[in-house]
Amino acid sequence: MSEYSTIVVSTESRVATIQLNRPEALNALNAEMMEEIVTAAMGFDADPGVGTILITGSQKAFAAGADIKQMADRGYADMYADDWFRRWDDLTRLRTPIVSAVSGFALGGGCELAMMSDIIIAAEGAKFGQPEINLGVIPGMGGSQRLTRAVGKAKAMDMILTGRRIDAAEAERIGLVSRVVADDQVLAEATTVAELIASKSKPSTQMAKEAVGSAFESTLGQGLLFERRMFHSLFATEDQAEGMSAFAQKRDPVWRHR
- Active-site choice (36, 132, 172, 227): 132
User: Of these, 1, 69, 251, 252, which contacts ligand CAA (CB under 6 A)?
Assistant: 69
- The region of 4-12, 132-140, 181-189, 241-249 touching ligand CAA under the rule CB under 6 A is 132-140
Residue type, 187: L
Kindly state whether residue 135 participates in binding ligand CAA, applying the rule CB under 6 A: yes
154 is catalytic: no
132 is catalytic: yes
User: Of these, 68, 133, 150, 211, which contacts ligand CAA (CB under 6 A)?
Assistant: 68
Query: Least CB distance from residue 160 to ligand CAA, whole Å?
Result: 10
- The region of 102-110, 175-183, 190-198, 219-227 touching ligand CAA under the rule CB under 6 A is 102-110
221 is catalytic: no
Query: Residue 118 or residue 132: which is nearer to ligand CAA going by CB?
Result: 132
User: Of these, 109, 147, 159, 227, which contacts ligand CAA (CB under 6 A)?
Assistant: 109
User: Of these, 15, 18, 20, 25, which contacts ligand CAA (CB under 6 A)?
Assistant: 25
The 110-129 site mask, x for binding ligand CAA (CB under 6 A), equals: --x-----------------
Query: Least CB distance from residue 31 to ligand CAA, whole Å?
Result: 12
Q: Give the whole-angstrom CA distance, residue 35 versus residue 86.
A: 11
Residues that are catalytic: 66, 109, 112, 132
